[in-house]
Structure 1
Amino acid sequence: MAGQPSDETPISDDEWERFLKDAEREIPASAPKEPSARARMVTARLREQDARGQAPEAWRAGPDRRVTERRGARRRLWAILGVPVAIVVALVAVKPSLLPGNPFGSGASDAAAASPLPAETARPTAPPSSVAPDTATLADPFAGSPAKDYADGAAGIVLPKATAVGTFSAARVGQALRQTRELLVDANLDPVTLRGGRPETALGVIEPKQTELVQLLNTSLRKPDRDHDPLTMFSRFDPDEVRLAGDVVKTRGRMTFEAGEDGSLAVHADYTFVYPLVKAGDGATEVARTVVRRVLDLRLDDPARYQVTPGKLAVQRYDQEIGNSACDVYDGFLHPGFDSDTPTGPSPSGSAVDPYDRSRTPDPNREEECGTVTRT
């Protein structure tokens, strides 16, 4: 029809750039361990004090439940049993002939097609679904993993909007949320920590009047053993054994806050970190992944009411599940297993667990075991 533009009318560079920006705005951004005997003793004493209404060590930051919530299987040499999840693909509804190249053709890579998941704001109702497995490579270390759609590193730790809680202003709540984020980042993502260094920032967030916890963590970093294991709080790999495949650790989880007991502020954090790894040394190409889920409950008390250190957070609970790390090794490092490795250590005996299933809450009463995972 006269005056009607043809279907094949080309679009200008400016129009194309506006289209890409509009399309981009439419896409949302986004092993368990058995506690040590000493830790069990500390927690039992704190529980007794709390039951009697006493403030432990002349300060009040609530009962320390880190051990009862941490009870469970030690670090595990996970057996790979399952298949990965589908990759979310952002489809652009426009005629392919108007697009440069062939983005929907067979030459498109999974990395280009993947779309970040929106930030997690509530506990999922089901684990990620599975698709045909794919082999992780140096070029694509998260192939065949739900983590492919997770956010990169600290970008996956999205803070909720801070509002006033009790006697705490929105600004003070926001500071506590940022401190929680700093702890998580330094403990699980900082390159120095991952290579076995001291996580000074994370330690600096913790209430120093939690003397037994602070001493436990310091001893675990200095001289790790079964009763002093830094992996209960920090992710660490032996640089002489493995290194990251690339420079990205995938992160997914959520942070919430609410009014706690006795006028406190309670902050809850639940995050999964996925580490792609290759063996140390030149020429290594086989990629393995270790999956670490960490659950933290932190507490902020009013220094006008309690003998606490202003600006510090008390640790109420720290729990972890670790997928793909050797059982019964207490040298302070995670030890991922590779498909090419000869199996060593105890045979897996526990039930199979999906380390990506964030719909389930880690059972604080789970038994110590060396189990299996369905995928990494």
Structure 2
Amino acid sequence: MSDKPSEEPSSTPEIPDDVWEKFAQDTERDIRASAAKEPSARARMVSERLKAGEQPAGWRAAPTTKAPRRRRLLPVLGLLLAAAVAVVAMKPSLLPGDPFGGKAEGNPAAASTLPPETAAPTAPPSVADPEVPTLDRPFAGSPALNWADGAAGIVLPKATAVGKFSKDQVELALQQTKILLVGANLDPKTIRGDRPAAALAVLDPKQTKTFDRLNASLTTPSKAQDPTLLFSRFDPKDVRLVGDVVKTRGRITFGASDDGGVTVHADYTFVYPLVRTDGSTTVARTIVRRVIDLDVLDPTRYQATPGLLTLGQNNADFGNSACGVYDGYLHPEFGSASPTGAAPTGPTEDPYDRSRDLGKGKGTCGTATRT
């Protein structure tokens, strides 16, 4: 799967900041020099009266200088303000925070974050934005631009008692689920290929088959034992994350399981902006969607450690990762590089479409309509 962005140069010429600063200083100096030559209205009135031999009332009384000084400053301040308005009109980025709500030097105003997802969407996001990702704006053109950053996007539902499990026990299960999602998909160490220790720590070691399988996938990855089915990992020799933000969107629900326990259901999509480590500036995004069931087993019926989770059903879907490569890493494809891996055999799908049932097309590698 690949996306072929093409970077276009900005049509707005860049003017160095020191040129603008000198322009503003020269303008202020010239205004002050010219304003000092202009007499005030009071000065003209007094001059006319003196020529006529008339002495103003109170002239020899202790005069106040505040009113005349304020009047002399008004024309100067007005001209300074006019000059400042002219400078800002030509270069709005001189004002901090982009108060006009537009774009300054090609950088968009801060996008408002979408509210947390509380139910499955009924349709995919809107039509793709034509902008392409850059090092400064790695989420440009992506629906994820308005998604939450990292762990802030993992919002837990309010815990309630379920069967014989108390509210506090359910709350613990929800917190453990968040730890697993963060440790498996957002921890910088996990992303660059290290062992996902925090995620593994919340899984019950008494589930020996699960632990044996996960450990084997991390040490000797293969098609049958692929760690990317649970962990988001990229080969640090080839690519690195752009910045420190991974966009996150999804939801968590919970309920009673058929065996008397509690099942926590997590459905999340993570968007990773990446760049090659060879010095290239082309940015590509890989989109990972995970649907995971985590069970809290009844220790009176099963061998289980209270407070820890059992990994249940686990499905994953990847947008822009090479097909047929099972070395334990996800491999984004860049528009400026030759494709790697096998040719896609699965359907063409939108990786941002969270209304889609992830079960469809399971086991096949398809083509992403956008990244």
2:216 aligned counterpart, secondary structure: helix
Letter in 2 for 1:250: K
Question: Which residue of structure 2 aligns with residue 370 of structure 1?
Answer: 365
Describe how 1:123-162 pairs up with structure 2 within 5 A. Answer: 123-162=120-159
Question: Which residue of structure 2 aligns with residue 263 of structure 1?
Answer: 260
Alignment check: 8 A CA contact 2:206 2:303 kept: no
After TM superposition, the score normalised by the length of structure 2 is: 0.72
Describe how 1:203-222 pairs up with structure 2 within 5 A. Answer: 203-222=200-219
The one of 263, 276, 294 aligned to 1:298: 294
Structure number with greater Rg is 2
Select the structure with the greater relative contact order (CA < 8 A; seq sep ≥ 6). Answer: 1
The one of 140, 161, 166 aligned to 2:163: 166
Question: Which residue of structure 2 aligns with residue 320 of structure 1?
Answer: 316
The one of 273, 282, 293 aligned to 1:286: 282
Give the number of equivalent residue pairs. 281
Instruction: Give the Å deviation of 1:350.
Output: 2.6
Separation in 2, partners of 1:304, 1:374: 49
Alignment check: 8 A CA contact 1:278 1:285 kept: yes
Instruction: Give the Å deviation of 1:205.
Output: 1.3
2:259 aligned counterpart, secondary structure: helix
Letter in 1 for 2:370: R
Letter in 2 for 1:369: T
1:263 aligned counterpart, secondary structure: coil
Instruction: Give the Å deviation of 1:108.
Output: 7.6
What is the aligned-residue identity percentage? 58
Instruction: Give the Å deviation of 1:312.
Output: 1.4
Moved more, 197-206 or 151-160: 197-206
Question: Which residue of structure 2 aligns with residue 201 of structure 1?
Answer: 198
Alignment check: 8 A CA contact 1:346 1:370 kept: no
Alignment check: 8 A CA contact 1:150 1:251 kept: yes
The one of 267, 270, 274 aligned to 2:271: 274
Separation in 2, partners of 1:332, 1:354: 24
Separation in 2, partners of 1:319, 1:111: 35
Question: Which residue of structure 1 aligns with residue 54 of structure 2?
Answer: none
Instruction: Give the Å deviation of 1:79.
Output: 5.2
Instruction: Give the Å deviation of 1:264.
Output: 0.7
Instruction: Give the Å deviation of 1:287.
Output: 0.4
The one of 97, 107, 112 aligned to 2:104: 107
Instruction: Give the Å deviation of 1:111.
Output: 4.2
Gap regions ≥5 residues in structure 1: 1-76, 82-98
Distance 1:135 1:301, change over 3 A: same
After TM superposition, the score normalised by the length of structure 1 is: 0.71
Post-superposition CA distance 1:21-59 (Å, at most 9, x none): xxxxxxxxxxxxxxxxxxxxxxxxxxxxxxxxxxxxxxx
2:292 aligned counterpart, secondary structure: strand
Separation in 1, partners of 2:364, 2:171: 39
More helix by share: 2
The alignment yields a C-alpha RMSD, in angstroms, of 2.0
Are positions 1:345 and 2:341 aligned together?
yes
Distance 1:157 1:108, change over 3 A: farther
Question: Which residue of structure 1 aligns with residue 173 of structure 2?
Answer: 176
Gap regions ≥5 residues in structure 2: 6-95
Separation in 2, partners of 1:101, 1:374: 34
Letter in 2 for 1:116: T
Post-superposition CA distance 1:327-374 (Å, at most 9, x none): 11111011100000113433333321000000111126x364332111
